[in-house]
Amino acid sequence: MDQYAVFGNPIEHSKSPMIHTAFAEQTQQAMEYKKQLVAIDGFKQAARDFFAAGGRGLNITVPFKLEAFEFADVLTERAQQAQAVNTLSLTDQGIEGDNTDGYGLINDITSTLNWPVHNRRVLILGAGGAVRGILHPLLNERPSEVVIANRTLSRAEELASISPLVSASEFETLDGSFDLIINGTSASLAGDLPPMPNSVVNANTQCYDMMYGQNPTVFMRWAMELGAAQVADGLGMLVGQAAESFYRWRGVRPEVAPIIQQVRAKL
Ligand code: ATR
């Protein structure tokens, strides 16, 4: 059977095996997908070993996305733009590095949730690896403006330099309200909320947290309390990026909605 895996550290709580096994059942693909804990200094050797043993594809999660970018023989355009790789595939050209995170987010927002991005004023919270991966795909949807707010302003400024549509800000000095707010900080992991003025949310604002959990995140609760129109967590992004990796490997697009439900029921 064709072998796939997700590499990370930690990896115990990865939902990827559950998601890909469900995709394989849904689309009747004969494949096996496992999770593998990789030593912090052992990524490249583990990846070489995996492909040498006949493995067909890998998903890469924290903290190896930059090393996977360096490891790949060839890169897709979106991997080059993100400067990070979450999907490795065996191809005729060698090991190809791709990044499906941005696709997963945009597909969730525009298709599953049906929230428009075109012509809307967008606020992104955070300027780390997660945000870098979604910026180009987001700009492809032609928002009217994107503001990146980050605790460390210089990181936001660096990302903002890619397009005149994008500007950088500190949280406290954010001006006016936004149509769409995407939380890409890891602050909610610690139960923290960036110190934004409440005026960033109005009654039409849609708020998306790239994090997810059994219960609404701190960011989602904050947005609901301020009367935001809609809130969503990042489970759909997780399943969406997996679906795009699966498509890259198997040439078949799984249906994401039933799998999002299935994973949510087990959170
Ligand atoms: P990831 O790959 O998940 O994006 P990262 O590159 O370490 O991880 O980035 C984490 C992001 O969350 C950064 O934007 C970070 O802000 P800094 O650039 O100032 O470090 C942000 N972040 C983490 N904890 C935060 C907190 N308690 N409040 C606000 N922002 C926080």
Per-residue pLDDT tens over the stretch 224-252: 999 999 999 999 999 999 999 999 999 99
Q: How far away, in angstroms, is 186 Cα from ligand 1 center?
A: 5
Which amino acid is present at 163? S
Q: How far away, in angstroms, is 201 Cα from ligand 1 center?
A: 21
Ligand 1 atom at minimal distance to the Cα of residue 132: 4
Q: Are 23 and 259 in contact (CB under 8 A)?
A: yes
Residue with tokens 């909320």: 193
Q: How far away, in angstroms, is 48 Cα from ligand 1 center?
A: 31
**Options 35, 44, 65, 266, the catalytic residue:** 65
Q: What is the pLDDT of residue 12?
A: 96
Question: Is any atom of ligand 1 closer than 6 Å to the C-beta of 172?
Answer: no
Per-residue pLDDT tens over the stretch 65-103: 999 999 999 999 999 999 999 999 999 999 999 999 999
Q: How far away, in angstroms, is 92 Cα from ligand 1 center?
A: 38
pTM of the model: 0.95
CA distance 99 to 140: 15
With H, G, I as helix, E, B as strand and everything else as coil, classify residue 227: coil
Report the range of poorest mean pLDDT among 43-47, 123-127, 187-191, 198-202.
Answer: 187-191
**For ligand 1, atom 25, which residue shows the shortest CA distance?**
187
Q: Is the pLDDT of residue 175 over 90?
A: yes
Q: Answer yes or no: 44 catalytic.
A: no
Mutate to test the pocket of ligand 1, among 185, 189, 211 (most ligand atoms within 8 A of CB): 185
Mean pLDDT (whole number) for 1-19: 97
Q: What is the pLDDT of residue 190?
A: 87
CA distance 58 to 60: 6
**What confidence category does residue 189 fall into, taking pLDDT thresholds of 50, 70 and 90?**
confident
With H, G, I as helix, E, B as strand and everything else as coil, classify residue 37: strand
Q: Are 227 and 203 in contact (CB under 8 A)?
A: yes
CA distance 115 to 226: 19
